[in-house]
Structure 1
Amino acid sequence: MNGAESLVRTLVAGGVEVCFTNPGTSEMHFVAALDRVEGMACVLFLFEGGATGAADGYARMADKPASTLLHLGPGLANGLANLHNARRARSPIVNIVGEHATYHRIHDAPLTSDIEGFARPVSAWLRMGTTAEAIAADGADAIAAAR
């Protein structure tokens, strides 16, 4: 089992049943895990604003955590207004944001950004996962903080 699959399993065990997604190439391991793990519905969006708005609406209506999967910092930035509203409303959302591979970051690719800087104002809890072994515990902490 890889880190992505352990994270999806942790989310499902924590009561997260839906992931609103706008993934890119850096998130393909998580997308594959969504296909392999039972119990998590995946809703694909063409724009992160739609995914984050739907996650907020779902969390408010269902009164349980939703999750999003967003493509790198610019994808997160595209959903910031909705995530701001969700945080102010105390909507329980766990946002998963992809990042470039560590060996790719040195190239300062066009989509490289300060993900933590974007996420901090709209997050009750924030952690940048660094190992596949730790990511499931990070997911459990995120669910607890979202509630």
Structure 2
Amino acid sequence: MNGAQALIRTLAGCGVEVCFANPGTSEMHFVAALDTVPEMRGVLCLSEGVVTGAADGYGRMTGRPAAALLHLGPGLGNGLANLHNARRAATPLLAVVGDHATYHKRLDAPLESDIDSLARPVSVWVRRSLRADDVAADAVDAVTAACAPPGGVATLILPADVSWTDGARPA
């Protein structure tokens, strides 16, 4: 099982039932894994503003976190206004932000950005998974943080190589 599959199975096991998504190339393993986990519904959205707004609305209506899949730092940036609103409303929400492969970061690709710093002002919790073996535990911590009173946005950064690497297991 790869990191993306372990992540989605863990999220579903924690009660996350829906993922609003505007994926790019670095999130394709996550998208493929969505098809293998019937307990989680994937909802493709036109833009990151729709993704984060829908996840915020879902969390406010149900009291349970939805996942919001965003493409790299620019995708996170496009959804920041609604993540700000979710944080201010203490909405439980799990933002999963794809990133370049860890070994590709040093090449400063055109969409490279400091995702951790962008996420901190709108998140109660931020972590970057560094190995496929860490993804499941990171996911449990993210859901726990999002649901801890009063609630809030937990941001999990998922590098592409962590997503596609085999050997991960769900929590």
Shared fold per TM-score greater than 0.5: yes
Specify the alignment match of 1:37 in structure 2. Answer: 37
Residue 86 (1) aligns with residue 107 (2): no
Cα offset for 1:103? 2.4
The yes-or-no answer on 1:48 pairing with 2:48 is: yes
Q: Give 1:57-136 correspondences, 5 Å limit.
A: 57-136=57-136
Letter in 1 for 2:62: A
Letter in 1 for 2:136: A
Residue 46 of structure 1 and its aligned partner are, at CA, apart by 1.6
Instruction: Report the TM-score, using the length of structure 2 for normalisation.
Output: 0.85
Q: What 5-or-longer segments of structure 2 have no aligned partner?
A: 148-171
2:159 counterpart residue number: none
The DSSP-based 3-state class of the residue aligned with 2:126 is coil
2: distance between equivalents of 1:100 and 1:43?
23
Mapped partners of 1:143, 1:5: distance in 2: 16
Question: Match for 2:117: what amino acid?
Answer: G
Show the counterpart of 2:16: 16
Instruction: Give identity over the alignment, percent.
Output: 65
Count the aligned residue pairs. Answer: 147
Q: Which residue of 1 aligns with 2:151?
A: none
Letter in 2 for 1:28: M
Q: Which residue of 1 aligns with 2:169?
A: none
Letter in 1 for 2:13: A
Give the CA deviation at 1:56: 0.2
C-alpha distance in structure 2 between counterparts of 1:30 and 1:96, whole Å: 10
Amino acid at match of 1:67: A
Shift of 1:129: 0.5
Deviations 1:64-95 (A, max 9, x none): 11111100000000000000000110100011
Distance in 1 of aligned mates of 2:16 and 2:37: 12
Long gaps (5+) in structure 1: none
Whole-angstrom distance in 1 between the partners of 2:110 and 2:91: 32
Q: Which amino acid aligns with 2:137?
A: A
The structure that is strand-richer by fraction is 2
Structure 1 segments, 4+ long, off by >6 Å, are: none
- What is the alpha-carbon distance in structure 1 between the residues aligned to residue 126 and residue 54 of structure 2? 21
